[in-house]
A and B are shown apart, each in its own frame.
Chain A
């Protein structure tokens, strides 16, 4: 079974731009969670989607948004990028209602200049 895939793997953007990251979960997984990982703040929860609905949300500003499609693929968008948004963005999928374990993708490394 294929694992969680994230695209692109690396991205360089300029302050003020916007960016969209994509995540394809493991087949059959209905829950997708997004995390931001930085050396200073560690792993921080952004949001979780289950069956196209946002089920949980972290403490991030409204510039960070996401969505999930009917095939469970998910995207997250960051508008008006700031230098502090430079991070590794990790996506994780799980069965959602029948499994607690999360399966992580390799991440997208975003650099904002």
Chain B
């Protein structure tokens, strides 16, 4: 069945460091891919998405590119801030009729 794998955390970075959170997936066809973020004490919110191969999703300085050949959707940010401390979830779905498959989440802590 479909699945999403993320790098294990927690990840701790200093402010202004470069961030990469790896995400790979297993799915038939061409799923849509998402990154969601969960700040402490809150629900998840959509960070960015990509719906076809080679698409790049971007938002708030975060970027991820849909790589069909490597079945990956790695999240990157050039310079993290303390306010980026949160849990990041990679997710996929094939159609609006299918359930969304979430990865286990990666906790990020950014220290001043």
> What are some 12 contacts across the A-B interface (CB < 8 A)?
A33-B99, A35-B102, A42-B105, A43-B89, A43-B105, A48-B99, A56-B98, A90-B43, A95-B96, A100-B34, A100-B95, A106-B41
Q: How many residues of B contact A (CB 8 A)?
A: 22
A1 CB–B CB distance under 8 Å? no
Residues of B within 8 A of A31 (CB): 96
| Alpha-carbon separation in the docked complex, A106 to B41 (Å) | 8
B93 CB–A CB distance under 8 Å? yes
| Alpha-carbon separation in the docked complex, A37 to B47 (Å) | 19
A92 CB–B CB distance under 8 Å? yes
Assess A101 versus B49: contact at CB under 8 Å? Given A43-B89, A48-B99, A56-B98: yes
Residues of A within 8 A of B46 (CB): 101-103
Residues of A within 8 A of B96 (CB): 31, 94-100
Query: A-B contact count, CB below 8 Å?
Result: 59
Nearest B residue to A109 via CB reads: B41
Interface residues of B (CB under 8 A from A): 32, 34, 36, 41-46, 49, 51, 89, 93, 95-100, 102, 104-105
Contact B44 A90 (CB under 8 A): yes
Contact A106 B42 (CB under 8 A): yes
Nearest B residue to A41 via CB reads: B104
Nearest B residue to A42 via CB reads: B104
Encode A68-97 as 1/0 by CB contact (under 8 A) with B.
000000000000000000000010101111
